[in-house]
Structure 1
Amino acid sequence: MKLATLKDGSRDGQLVVVSRDLKTAHYAADVAGRLQTVLDDWAFYAPQLQDLYDALNAGRARHPFPFDPKHCMAPLPRAYQWADGSAYVNHVELVRKARGAEMPPEFWTDPLMYQGGSDDFLGPYDDIVCASETFGIDFEAEVAVITGDVKMGATPAQAAEGIRLVVLANDVSLRNLIPAELGKGFGFFQSKPATAFSPVAVTPDELGDAWRERKVHLPMTVHWNSKKVGQPDCGTDMVFDFGQLIAHICKTRNVRAGSIVGSGTISNVDRKKGYCCIAEKRMLETIEDGKPSTEFMKFGDAVKIEMFDAQGHSVFGAIDQLVAQP
């Protein structure tokens, strides 16, 4: 099943069901008007939405209309929680190596995670608005999951049962603000502006064999100013799967329906796969040449993030954003 939220002038938008080929959609108002409503009672609403999805794909839906991702908000325009991990330890290792720091061994056994702002997500075509280029504007292509309720103390297997939907994310970072914030010893805040999400959220079964081991085994394609800069495989080198990431949160608290949990920047050890954030490119340059040569994003720059299945079909639609001044 594929779901999206269309802009309608409200904070939470209008829920629609989207066809598998992303060409048509159907309003879901007769079932539920908002995605959060569905997540709050998944067992009741999801089968009804699945029936509508099946009818839409079979050409039996009563009022289909052309689907335009440019009219989309984030699938969940605001969420109860946005927790972003760093499951690709290769990425973390490069960061530390670039500044000559050893990586603590526990980074391989205990996930890194921060809690970001969840009150103001961006739609897939919304601009990345930033006050200054000097902040070091960077994209970060990620996979994320949207959960139902997961109880405190859940094991990774139990936590994975709470996964309802899968999305793509652009977790924008302002790299030049990060060092001072981390230096305070209290984590990210100003250096992590609004995150953007793919136009469509999909249930894991839509991914077929690509959803296994609680991971997405498909490449993430990233274009920066129309040039392909990365296509790493999301299932490769993911040290912590989504069950483990959710269980990490559940160690001391419940996770409630409508929480979003991110994978962190996709990163493969194989350098030929390119990069999903500029910082990683700069890290490699620093390691090889002693200093970075690639600059961060400028006003007017474009980033496009998309995932294709084995047949070359877009699964979630694209995140396609421009960097803009306020």
Structure 2
Amino acid sequence: MKLATLKGTSPEQGASLETVATAKNARDGELIVVSRDLTRAVRVPHIAATLQHVVEDWSALAPRLDEVYQALNNGQLEDAFNLDMQALHSPLPRTYHWADGSAYLNHVQLVRQARNAEMPETFWTDPLMYQGGGDSFIGPYDDIEAVSEEHGIDFEGEIAVITDDVPMAVSPEQASGHIKLIMLVNDVSLRGLIPGELAKGFGFFQAKPASSFSPICITPDELGDAWQDGRVHLPLTVHLNGEKFGEPESGPDMIFNFPQLVAHAARTRYLGAGAVIGSGTVSNPDANGGPGKPVADGGVGYSCLAEVRMVEKILHGDSKTPFMRFGDRVRIEMFDRDGNSIFGAIDQQVVEYKA
């Protein structure tokens, strides 16, 4: 099943109470069911108003939505409409809980190696994770507003899952059953602010502005055999200013799978329905075990600028690739083995924020 959220609109000033009550929520948007080929969609107000509503009552609502999904794919719904990706928000425009892991330890190793720091052995057994701001995500086709290029604007291509209510202290095996939906992420990072924040010993905050997610989220069964062992086994394709920047494999080098990440997040707390747990930057080492190579050199490339900069520093003593500047555009997408887009694309331009 494939689901999405139409951007919400506020009722006009002076509208009737009935109009206000039934208007699409300006913050949470309107739930729609999307066809498998991402061309058609249908509204489902008789089932659920928002995606948050669905994950809060998944067992009752998901089967009804799946019936609509099957009918939509079979061309049986007269009220279906042509899908405009740019009319979509992130599947959850906001959430009560957004936590991002760092399950691809090749990425972590490169960052630490570039600054001559050893990687603690515990990183291989205990996942890294930070809690981000879930109060306002960016739409997948909306601009990334940034205060200054000096902050080191970077993208991070990732995968994330959405859960229902997760009890505290679940095992990874139990956590697996709480993963309901999958989507892609652009975890925007301000690299120039990270060192100073980490030096305080209290984690990220200003260095992690609003993230964005793919226009479509899907149930794991949509991936077929590409969903194995709690991992997505497909390449993640990233383009920077129209040129392929990376196509790393998202499965084999994910040290901690999604059930493990969810269980880690829930070790000492409950996760409310709609919790979003990210994988961290998708990253592969080179075939010989060394740093990954750029696409132009026959490698799979990268999912963020920081990684190529670290590789340049390790191999050549200095980082030459610049971070994003105003006007730069990033596109993040995943295709099935037949070349079909699974989640739609995150396609965003960086612009200067003007208060």
User: What TM-score do you get using the length of structure 1 for normalisation?
Assistant: 0.99
Deviations 1:25-65 (A, max 9, x none): 00011111100111000001001100000000000013010
1:8 is displaced (CA, Å) by: 2.4
Q: 1:15 aligns with which of 14, 31, 53?
A: 31
Instruction: Name the SS for the 2:224 alignment partner.
Output: helix
Distance in 2 between residues matched to 1:36 and 1:250, nearest whole Å: 19
Is 1:191 matched up with 2:188? Answer: no
Partner Cα separation in structure 2 for residue 159 and residue 62 of structure 1? 38
Distance 2:84 2:45 in 1: 18
Partner of residue 311 from structure 2, selected from 284, 289, 309: 284
Question: Counterpart in 1 of 2:277?
Answer: 261
232, 242, 251: which one aligns with 1:235: 251
Amino acid at match of 2:159: V
Q: Please state if 1:295 is matched with 2:322.
A: yes
Please give the alpha-carbon distance, in whole angstroms, between the structure 2 residues aligned to 1:40 and 1:62: 29
Aligned-pair distance for 1:250? 1.5
Larger Rg: 2
Aligned to 1:79: 95
- Unaligned 5+ segments in structure 2 are 10-25, 287-291, 293-298
Picking from 129, 132, 136, the partner of 2:148 is 132
Q: How does 1:64-143 map to 2 (within 5 A)?
A: 64-143=80-159
Match of 1:275 in 2: 302
* Structure 1 unaligned spans of 5+: none
SS in 2 for 1:37: helix
1:6 corresponds to which residue?
6
Measure, in 2, the Cα distance between the counterparts of 1:316 and 1:143. 11
Q: Does 1:322 align with 2:338?
A: no
Count of aligned positions: 326
SS of the residue corresponding to residue 311 of structure 1 reads coil
What's the TM-score, normalizing by structure 2?
0.91
- Structure 1 distance, partners of 2:78, 2:160, is 32
Distance 2:339 2:252 in 1: 19
Matched AA of 1:313: N
Q: Distance in 2 between matches of 1:197 and 1:206?
A: 18
**Counterpart mapping for 1:125-164 below 5 A:** 125-164=141-180
Cross-structure match for 2:22: none
Structure 1 residue aligned with 2:56: 40
Indicate the residue corresponding to 1:307 in structure 2.
Answer: 334
- 1:286: how far off? 0.3
Secondary structure of 2:33's counterpart equals: strand
Within 2, Cα distance between the matches of 1:323 and 1:249? 31
Match of 1:205 among 209, 221, 225: 221
Give the secondary structure class of the aligned counterpart of 1:273: coil
User: 2:340 aligns to what SS in structure 1?
Assistant: coil
CA distance in 1, matches of 2:52, 2:5: 11
Q: What whole-Å deviation, never above 9, does each CA across 1:240-286 have from its counterpart, x for those lacking one?
A: 00000011011111111110000000001122110000000000000
Q: Report what 1:28 is aligned to.
A: 44
- Alpha-carbon distance, 1:185 to partner: 0.6
* Distance of 1:216 and 1:66 partners within structure 2: 28
Q: Distance in 1 between matches of 2:109 and 2:237?
A: 22
